[in-house]
Amino acid sequence: ATPTALLAATGRGAQLGILVSGPQALERLRRIDTVVLDKTGTLTTGRMTVRDVTHRPDGRDPDEVLRLAATVEQCSEHPVARAVVGHVRDHRPAVRLEPAAAVRDFTATPGFGVCGAVDGRMVTVVRPPDDPDGLPAPLPEAVRAAGAAGRTAVLVTVDGDPEAVLALGDALRPDGYRAVDHLRRLGVRPVLATGDRAATARVVARQLAITEVHAQALPHDKAALVTTLQEQGGRVAVVGDGVNDAAALALADLGIAMGGGTDAAIGAADVTLVREDLQAIADAVRLARRTLGTIR
């Protein structure tokens, strides 16, 4: 393609809300035949809200458990963390959070959860096990119900004791179904990859008619998935928003970041969807193919 054509395509992309890092990105965009889509914050809005809280009846005081969980989550910027902190602030006026600075030994494990010490107690908020039956009643039922409803469940533990399960709701982006359908009609294979549990991932995938689902994926699993798809001959784009997506975005033939995503995701990507419009992915592929000619 001529420099003029590339410039024109870049400008047209910007009008569609697609920021392309350079002409090489356009060139790779037109060859894409597989798209790995992250769930939380990509296919969904990432504006999570707590819908259900289940405590074990023989456990610590429920307000105290929520206080510890929300205090630790103040140190994280994950959608789950924002929802937990927001829930306690807005709906539990009796609960007084410690300042984030009161959390010791905070660690975030992308794709899995957070851990920190508050008042000498070790608190974790994490993805529950795939098989939750080892948890005390009624937590397994709460995890199952959340999964069946397509909600994200997280488990709160205090000093190693499972204390509560929170179910979080998140809305699919309204243009998701059409966007995925549009990609398929362009001959691009959609694949869902998420750090969430399989049950939740399957409900979201079904709503978008995506049949290929990889769940409970840690950041290196998402990256390994990209490599596997490439080894199968795929030209792979990854669409993501999180720290947990950065490695996969960097490895992909084309990394696409959601505009509202983390700096880590945007920094690792070749393309940014400034309007967070999923339809823009297919629009961008079409634009690149039209401008640079179809694949020989």
Q: Pick the closest to residue 126 from 141, 144, 107 (CA basis).
A: 107
Residue 54 interacting partner from Mg ion, ligand ADP, none (CB closer than 5 to 8 Å by kind): none
Tokens of 141: 């039922």
- Residues in 181-240 at the binding interface with ligand ADP, rule: CB under 6 A: 194-196
Strand partners, 54: 165
Pinpoint the alpha helices (H) of 187-242: 198-207, 219-231
CB atoms < 10 A from the CB of 65, how many?
A: 22
For position 40 contacting Mg ion by CB under 5 A, the verdict is yes
Interface residue with ligand ADP, options 20, 103, 113, 116 (CB under 6 A): 113
Choose from Mg ion, ligand ADP, none: what does 80 bind? Cβ within 5-8 Å by kind: ligand ADP
Buried b (16+ CB within 10 A) or exposed e, 21-30: eebebbebbb
Count of chain residues binding Mg ion (CB under 5 A): 5
- Residue whose C-beta lies closest to ligand ADP: 195
Identify the three-state secondary structure at position 63.
helix
63 is catalytic: no
Contact between 275 and 17 under an 8 Å Cβ cutoff? The reply is yes
Q: Which of residues 232-291 bind ligand ADP (CB under 6 A)?
A: 242, 244
Out of 33, 38, 170, 241, which one is annotated catalytic? 38
- Span of 12-20, 60-68, 121-129, 287-295 interacting with ligand ADP by CB under 6 A: 121-129
User: Coil, strand or helix: which one is 64?
Assistant: helix
Query: Residue 162's binding partner, choosing from ligand ADP, Mg ion, none, with beta-carbon cut-off 5 to 8 A by kind?
Result: none
Span interacting with Mg ion, options 33-41, 50-58, 118-126, 273-281, rule CB under 5 A = 33-41
| Integer Cα distance of 219 and 105 in angstroms | 22
DSSP 89-140: HHH-TTPPPPPGGG-EEEEEETTTEEEEEETTEEEEEEPPPSSGGGSPTTHH
Q: Enumerate residues 48-77 that contact ligand ADP by CB under 6 A.
A: 73, 76
The region, left, alpha or beta by phi > 0 then psi within -120 to 50, assigned to residue 275 is: alpha
Q: How far is the CB of 142 from Mg ion (least distance, A)?
A: 23
- Return the range that interacts with Mg ion (CB under 5 A); candidates 18-26, 68-76, 136-144, 241-249: 241-249
Q: Cα-flanking dihedrals φ and ψ of residue 244, to 5°? A: -70, -15
Q: Does 157 bind ligand ADP (CB under 6 A)?
A: no
Nearer to ligand ADP among residue 155 and residue 183 (C-beta): 155
Residue 242 in contact with Mg ion, rule: CB under 5 A: yes
By CB under 6 A, name the binding residues for ligand ADP.
38-41, 73, 76, 78, 80-81, 111-114, 125-127, 152, 154, 194-196, 242, 244
By CB under 5 A, name the binding residues for Mg ion.
38, 40-41, 241-242
Give the residue numbers marked as catalytic.
38
